[in-house]
Amino acid sequence: KAGVTQTPRYLIKTRGQQVTLSCSPISGHRSVSWYQQTPGQGLQFLFEYFSETQRNKGNFPGRFSGRQFSNSRSEMNVSTLELGDSALYLCASSLDRGWNSPLHFGNGTRLTVT
């Protein structure tokens, strides 16, 4: 069974630009979550989608947005990029939103903002 796939693996953008990251969950998984990973902050929760609806949202500015499609694939978008947005963005899928559904992570997209 294929794991969580994130594309692209690496991105370099300049300040003010916008970026779209993509995530394909494990087949059959309906919940997709996004995290920002930085050396100083660890994993910070961005948002969670289930059945094409945002179910939870972390404490990030409105420049960060996402969506989920009917096939459970998800995208996240960051507009007006800032230097501080440089990070590894992780997507994780789970079977559902149940308490006993662990997260399965992708390899991440490393975003560098110059």
Instruction: Name the token pair of 65.
Output: 């947005």
Q: DSSP per residue over the chain, as a string? A: ----EEE-SEEEE-TT--EEEEEEPPTT--EEEEEEEETTTEEEEEEEEETTEEEEE-S--TTEEEEE-TTS-EEEEE-S--GGG-EEEEEEEESSSSTT---EE---EEEEE-
CB of 43 to other proteins, least distance (A): 4
Residue among 39 and 84 whose Cβ is closer to other proteins: 39
CB of 51 to other proteins, least distance (A): 12
Residue among 15 and 55 whose Cβ is closer to other proteins: 55
Asked if residues 11 and 113 have their Cβ atoms less than 8 Å apart, the reply is no
Residue among 50 and 81 whose Cβ is closer to other proteins: 50
CB of 14 to other proteins, least distance (A): 27
CB of 110 to other proteins, least distance (A): 12
Interface ranges with other proteins (CB under 8 A)? 3-4, 33, 35, 41-43, 45, 48, 55-56, 58, 90, 92, 97, 99-100, 102-108
Residue among 70 and 100 whose Cβ is closer to other proteins: 100
